[in-house]
A and B are shown apart, each in its own frame.
Chain A
Amino acid sequence: MATIRYESVSKRFGETVALRDFSLDAGEGEFLVLVGPSGSGKTTALRILAGLEALTDGHVYIGDTVVDRVPPGRRDIAMVFQDYGLYPQMTVFGNMAFGLRMRKVPKDEIVRRVNDAARILDLEQLLERRPRQLSGGQRQRVALGRALVRQPQAFLMDEPLSNLDAKLRVQTRGEIRRLQAHTGVTTVYVTHDQVEAMTMGDRIAVMNHAVLEQVGTPSEVYESPRNVFVGGFIGSPAMTFGTYATERGNGSVVLRSGATSLTVSASDAIPSEVIVGVRPEHTRLWGDREDLIGPVQGRVELVEALGRESLISVATDGGAQFIIQAEGLVQAHIDDVVTFGVRRGHIHLFDPETTEAIGRI
């Protein structure tokens, strides 16, 4: 296994910029997830690492070696594709053995590695079958097995779970993670699903519009989003935002938007206008907790009764939207007026012009 480094990598397709000044490191044995909406550049970054796309600027390192010009077959990496890319006419054994045969690995070594991988992935019964005789989940495991036997410096995975049904996806997530921990191979994993990212990654790299927005551990990214995008992208249901004017009082600051006002204590300088972001799990009905800042009044627009909890979407005077998380099934109806508050210490402030995070209060 090896470290991975992107150094100011850019990629242009004609006029379109797919990746802009992208710098990122993955440590040995780390499971790094690239997450973002489609078009964010995450797949491009992965393909550049694989050597399937050439970069326009910057450098890519695997270990200590610059691999910019190295063909994919010589980078000693293995990749799992979204549609698995299994060789249709070869058996499962043949699929897994192919990369090793191309590298002139001795025959008995090939057999040993394939059997080992098959055992780990529970493919032993399927070794003589062809891909078209396998289910989606089985094919996915063969794709994993093909990567595993290569014993590469790094695993690259391009949304490998997208084609599985929801239940299988959750199950396989865990399996991939365990496998990676067991083998200790550095892994770069691409997904558009932030839940997947949060549950699987040692660190998450959040991307948007060809730019790396933030990289950090799941809790870092969750608790300290660096800008509005990351705040809104990570976490489900998503963080809600509103623009507020600030008024300084003595020792405290009032955030005001229309009739809504939040009084917080803040020592640092806060600009005259801020974007406030709050997560639904930190927005509670007034009286639910003691550490709530408010009260705020809002008109109910939508109630999602999920059994264990209810999500109440409200609109406040001033325009800001909130989603209140309440326990159990709450009797609230559209156009009701509810009173709620926000947990102290979980109000995220962002600069209205740069959308960058100012702090959390």
Chain B
Amino acid sequence: MTTRRDVIVNYVILGFFTISALYPIVAIVLVALQDPSQPVTGFAIPSHPELHNFVRAWDIGHFSQFLRSSALVAIAVVAVSSVLSIVAGYAFGTFRFRGDTALFYLLLLGLIMPYEAVIVPLYFDFRSLGLTDTYWALILPQIGFSLPFGIFWMRAFFLSVPRSLIEAARIDGASTFATLWRVLLPFGWPAVLTMVVITFMWTWNEFLLPLVMISQESHQTAPLGLAFFQYKYTTDIPGVAAASVIIAAPIMLIYIVLQRHFIRGMLSGAVKG
């Protein structure tokens, strides 16, 4: 019994919150397009879009370098952690071995473990190994931290596979690996994609770890680069805005294309205990 008024009210409310969510993001893009010499007070659509800000931010801010670092770290982390998560999730979700429940709960601890609790020893250990200011300091810990979610996620997928499928493969003579590779993964790729996308997002957005581990600009990641750029050029608001847009763009693009997977991944976190 929904009246037309109900529908309109729904749209109004949704519209209001949507605009609230969008406004700051759209605003910053518009700011990035404005003339740096003019004071930027509000939400104004520039009469002459100034792409020059972007060029300036790119050059002065060395953002190509930051983006490259971020990409390198993110890809490395995603690659390794995905493989390990698939393989471990397969074992947790398919085999029965002693201690599997206990080990899994141990992993779940990592889901809620804050970086803050480990950043201190991680820094000093890496420093004593001479590995600070290297990509290893960023890649290795982040692999460790992405594993709990990845394994949780893949395990949930493998648990959802009908047992008869796995048993049929066993009777057909497939090894455990062949079952994974030839039977299960081919139709599990949506789950893998969601995991990849979320892990990529978390790694790309990570701030504290690079802040602590990296002091040389050569290895800084994009969020770090933005923070320092903003600190240095705090009055150049359109420039900073342009820099923000540059940094946010890769994730935004991936999000727009794959938003279904992002949302599904975060929504299904609801299954976790």
Interface residues of A (CB under 8 A from B): 50-52, 71-74, 77-79, 81-90, 98-99, 102-103, 146, 150
Chain B contacts of A86 at CB under 8 A? 165, 168
With both beta carbons as reference points, the residue of chain B lying nearest to A87 in the complex is identified as B183
Q: With an 8 A cutoff between CB atoms, is B68 at the interface? A: no
A73 touches B171 (CB 8 A): yes
Chain B contacts of A98 at CB under 8 A? 169, 172, 174, 182-183
A73 touches B164 (CB 8 A): no
Complexed CA–CA distance, A82 and B182 (Å):
22
Complexed CA–CA distance, A83 and B173 (Å):
19
Complexed CA–CA distance, A316 and B167 (Å):
52
Rounded to whole Å, the gap between the CB of A233 and the closest CB of chain B is 27
Complexed CA–CA distance, A83 and B166 (Å):
12
Chain B contacts of A89 at CB under 8 A? 186-187
With both beta carbons as reference points, the residue of chain B lying nearest to A98 in the complex is identified as B172
Chain B contacts of A50 at CB under 8 A? 167, 171
Q: List 27 A-B contacts (CB under 8 A).
A: A52-B167, A72-B171, A73-B170, A73-B175, A74-B173, A78-B171, A81-B164, A81-B167, A81-B168, A82-B164, A83-B162, A83-B164, A85-B164, A85-B165, A86-B165, A87-B165, A90-B186, A98-B169, A98-B174, A98-B182, A98-B183, A99-B171, A99-B173, A102-B172, A102-B174, A102-B178, A146-B172
B173 touches A79 (CB 8 A): no
B187 touches A85 (CB 8 A): no
Interface residues of B (CB under 8 A from A): 162, 164-165, 167-175, 178, 182-183, 186-187
With both beta carbons as reference points, the residue of chain B lying nearest to A99 in the complex is identified as B172
By Cβ-Cβ distance, the 5 closest A-B pairs, closest first, are A85-B164, A99-B172, A73-B173, A85-B168, A102-B173
Q: A87-B165, A102-B178 are in contact. Are A79 and B171 (CB under 8 A)?
A: yes
With both beta carbons as reference points, the residue of chain A lying nearest to B165 in the complex is identified as A85
With both beta carbons as reference points, the residue of chain B lying nearest to A74 in the complex is identified as B173
A84 touches B164 (CB 8 A): yes
Complexed CA–CA distance, A156 and B187 (Å):
27
Complexed CA–CA distance, A88 and B185 (Å):
11
Complexed CA–CA distance, A257 and B265 (Å):
69
Chain A contacts of B164 at CB under 8 A? 81-85
Main secondary structure of the interface of A (DSSP, over half): loop
B168 touches A79 (CB 8 A): yes
Rounded to whole Å, the gap between the CB of A80 and the closest CB of chain B is 9
Chain A contacts of B168 at CB under 8 A? 79, 81, 85-87, 146
Chain A contacts of B167 at CB under 8 A? 50, 52, 72, 79, 81, 85
With both beta carbons as reference points, the residue of chain B lying nearest to A73 in the complex is identified as B173
Complexed CA–CA distance, A83 and B164 (Å):
7
A71 touches B187 (CB 8 A): no
Complexed CA–CA distance, A81 and B163 (Å):
10
Complexed CA–CA distance, A79 and B186 (Å):
23
Chain A contacts of B174 at CB under 8 A? 73, 98, 102
With both beta carbons as reference points, the residue of chain B lying nearest to A97 in the complex is identified as B172
With both beta carbons as reference points, the residue of chain B lying nearest to A158 in the complex is identified as B164
Complexed CA–CA distance, A74 and B168 (Å):
13
Complexed CA–CA distance, A50 and B170 (Å):
10
With both beta carbons as reference points, the residue of chain B lying nearest to A71 in the complex is identified as B170
B187 touches A88 (CB 8 A): yes
Rounded to whole Å, the gap between the CB of B123 and the closest CB of chain A is 46
Complexed CA–CA distance, A196 and B167 (Å):
25
Q: A87-B183, A88-B187, A89-B187 are in contact. Are A103 and B173 (CB under 8 A)?
A: yes
Rounded to whole Å, the gap between the CB of A71 and the closest CB of chain B is 7
Chain B contacts of A146 at CB under 8 A? 168, 172
> Apart from A88-B165, A88-B187, A102-B172, what are 4 other A-B pairs with CB-CB below 8 Å?
A73-B173, A83-B164, A98-B172, A102-B173
Complexed CA–CA distance, A215 and B202 (Å):
63
Rounded to whole Å, the gap between the CB of A161 and the closest CB of chain B is 15
A52 touches B173 (CB 8 A): no
Task: Kindly name the residue among B178, B182, B187 whose own CB sees the greatest number of chain A CB atoms within 10 A.
Answer: B182
Chain A contacts of B173 at CB under 8 A? 73-74, 99, 102-103
With both beta carbons as reference points, the residue of chain B lying nearest to A82 in the complex is identified as B164
Chain B contacts of A150 at CB under 8 A? 172
Chain B contacts of A77 at CB under 8 A? 171
With both beta carbons as reference points, the residue of chain B lying nearest to A104 in the complex is identified as B173
